[in-house]
Amino acid sequence: MKFTKMHGLGNDYVYVNCFEETVQDPCSLSPLISDRRRGIGADGLILISPSEEADASMQIFNADGSEAEMCGNGLRCVAKYVYDHGLAESHGPFAPPGEQSGYPASLRIETGRGLLTVGLTLDAENRVQSVCVDMGQPILDPDEIPVRLAGPEIINHPIRVDHQSLEMTCVSMGNPHAVFVVDSLQEIDVPHLGAMIESHDHFPNRTNVHFVEILNERELQVRTWERGSGITMACGTGACACCVAVVLMNRAERVCTTHLPGGDLAIHWNDTDGHVYMTGPAIEVFDGIWPL
């Protein structure tokens, strides 16, 4: 089976072009290839397949074999692969509503969140350099996130974890996120608390967990524990959820830079259409063949 290793800010996945390849059991395959000592090494497996409604579809499997609904960094890499490898042609320029500057090329990708539009920045060789994803409107209804708590929105909700009292804001960007604003990230044991919160009874489908230090109204420092993968260098949907969460708390602006261990993402919660736009790089690392 041919594969391509790609990453967005160090959030790395193994990508399989299912226009040409067939993967019979991705849930079993993902843990094998994701193993960083016995496999290729990745945060999971992403399948790029034909779509009747879009230029391509993506299917995400975490490092533990569980299937995820959405992956922002993965989506940027899918867009780069589809365009650079000629699987689809651009639909023309794209610009978020209310913004004067836009992107010279665009694609539509089918995801677990639905059909999403991506704007592409191209280099001198007409290859994708960075990608802006229209992530759609954030989901705040507890039943749709899902989180087992009452109320129209979950903002600064008290939760007790390992004898610690924390305040949690819940957002879905097509997948569930629990966001915690803290005074200092250095004082947070992200692996310990992240693993406990991921499987907390509040979350029937488990959740991604993010700890946020607000540097100023336009800059956030974030550390992430991803559901099914553990500590990752970056989480695109999580960066979007963190921006939404701190805006809901009236502690940051709608346009912000999210600093992640793997690098920075530009996030804009657009007040014209209510959609969240995420912009960042996508990198192709190497190709290989996995012996099935």
Other CB atoms within 10 Å distance of the CB of residue 69: 15
Q: Is residue 36 part of a domain?
A: yes
Q: Do 123 and 247 fall into the same domain?
A: no
Residue of 71, 77, 170, 242 marked active site: 71
Q: Is residue 144 part of a domain?
A: no
Residue 132: what pLDDT?
97
235 included as an active-site residue: yes
Q: What is the CATH number of the domain that holds 203?
A: 3.10.310.10
Q: Do 165 and 259 fall into the same domain?
A: yes
Q: What angle do CA 246, 250, 256 make, to 5 degrees?
A: 50
Q: What is the mean pLDDT of residues 273-278?
A: 97
Q: Do 242 and 261 fall into the same domain?
A: yes
- Each residue's pLDDT tens digit, 213-240: 999 999 999 999 999 999 999 999 999 9
* Structure-model confidence comparison of residues 98 and 37, the more confident one: 37
Q: Do 118 and 239 fall into the same domain?
A: no
Helix (H, G, I), strand (E, B) or coil at 44: strand
Q: How confident is the model at residue 177 (pLDDT cuts 50, 70, 90)?
A: very high
Residue 292: what pLDDT?
78
- Each residue's pLDDT tens digit, 126-150: 999 999 999 999 999 999 999 999 9
- The pTM of this model reads 0.95
Q: Is residue 46 part of a domain?
A: yes
Contact indicator for 75, 115 with CB cutoff of 8 Å:
no
Residue 261: what pLDDT?
97
Range of the domain at 32: 2-137+280-289
Q: Is residue 145 part of a domain?
A: no
Sign of CA dihedral 101, 238, 138, 53: positive
Q: Is residue 149 part of a domain?
A: no
Q: With left for phi above 0 and alpha for psi between -120 and 50, is residue 77 left, alpha or beta?
A: alpha
In this model, does residue 161 exceed pLDDT 80?
A: yes
Q: Do 261 and 285 fall into the same domain?
A: no
- Each residue's pLDDT tens digit, 14-27: 999 999 999 999 99
Q: Which two tokens stand for residue 81?
A: 């692969």
- Whether the bond into 146 is cis, omega within 30 of 0: yes
Q: What is the mean pLDDT of residues 233-252?
A: 97
Q: What is the mean pLDDT of residues 164-187?
A: 96
Strands 105-111, 67-68: parallel, antiparallel or unpaired by DSSP? unpaired
Query: What is the gyration radius of the CA atoms in the chain, in angstroms?
Result: 18
Per the DSSP assignment, residues forming a β-bridge with 208 are 177
Residue 105: what pLDDT?
97
For the chain, what is the domain count? 2
Q: Is residue 142 part of a domain?
A: no
In this model, does residue 270 exceed pLDDT 80?
A: yes
Q: Is residue 82 part of a domain?
A: yes
Q: Do 119 and 185 fall into the same domain?
A: no
- The residues near 169 (Cβ < 8 Å, ≥ 6 apart) are 154, 155, 156, 157, 178, 179, 180, 181, 245, 248, 249
Rounded CA-CA distance 142/149 in Å is: 6
Q: Do 98 and 211 fall into the same domain?
A: no
Q: Do 132 and 189 fall into the same domain?
A: no
Helix (H, G, I), strand (E, B) or coil at 190: helix
Q: Is residue 150 part of a domain?
A: no
Residue of 77, 132, 235, 240 marked active site: 235
Q: Do 24 and 130 fall into the same domain?
A: yes
Residue 99: what pLDDT?
81
Q: Do 130 and 196 fall into the same domain?
A: no
Residue 101: what pLDDT?
79
Q: Do 221 and 253 fall into the same domain?
A: yes
Give the DSSP H or E segment for 247.
helix 236-248
Q: Do 116 and 19 fall into the same domain?
A: yes
Helix (H, G, I), strand (E, B) or coil at 100: coil
256 included as an active-site residue: no
Give the DSSP H or E segment for 176.
strand 176-181
- Average pLDDT for the chain: 97
- The residues near 89 (Cβ < 8 Å, ≥ 6 apart) are none
Rounded CA-CA distance 47/68 in Å is: 12
- Each residue's pLDDT tens digit, 92-129: 999 999 887 799 999 999 999 999 999 999 999 999 99
Residue 100: what pLDDT?
74
